Amino acid sequence: MAYYPGLEFIPSSRFVWSPAQRTVYYPARELGRESNQLGLLHEIGHAELGHTSYHSDIHLLGMEVDAWSYARQKAPEFGLTVDEAHIHACLESYRIWVHKRSVCPRCQFHGMQTTPTKFHCFMCRRRWRVSRGLSLQPRRMDCRSLASRD
């Protein structure tokens, strides 16, 4: 963490990048696992890539892909092996989250996101709102639990 003096690192129950506080939260007790060290690099990637906000679910998914690409690139510098199954599981959790939010509650077709919290269905013309947060239903799943399913 001394490699990133512009960031603050605070132990927490999960990995989170807070751009407002320039802080990476991480589960300190679980950093012995290489996949979690890679996860820490992923959160650092958000910081180093300037990820501060997103305007749509697809934009957020793109930022996740970019942060994992950063982690892949930096992993050898820290002697870490890139676990593609872990990265795939983490990205899959976001894809599932994006999918669930975009399904029309009336006709089950996929709608188009018009604002960060609104969708519109072209099939039945229904409009619906979703939460801004990632932790509310429908929500992304813990990628660690997805990786253990394999």
Residue 2 lies in a domain: no
Which element (helix H / strand E) includes 56? none
CA distance 105 to 108: 6
Residue by residue, pLDDT tens for the chain (150 residues) are 679 999 999 999 999 999 999 999 999 998 999 999 999 999 999 999 999 999 999 999 999 999 999 999 999 999 999 999 999 999 999 999 999 999 999 999 999 999 999 999 999 999 999 988 765 444 334 454 444 443
Range(s) of the domain holding residue 142: 8-147
CA distance 18 to 20: 6
Helices (H), the chain: 34-48, 57-74, 84-102, 143-147
Residue 111 lies in a domain: yes
What pLDDT does 134 receive? 66
Residue 27 lies in a domain: yes
Sheet holding 118-120, edge to edge: 112-115, 118-120, 127-129
- In contact, 74 and 102? CB cutoff 8 Å: no
CA 135 distance to own-chain centroid? 11
Domain count, the chain: 1
Residue 1 lies in a domain: no
CA distance 18 to 21: 6
Residue 90 lies in a domain: yes
Residue 3 lies in a domain: no
Is the bond leading into 5 cis (omega within 30 degrees of zero)? Answer: no
Residue 65 lies in a domain: yes
Residue 97 lies in a domain: yes
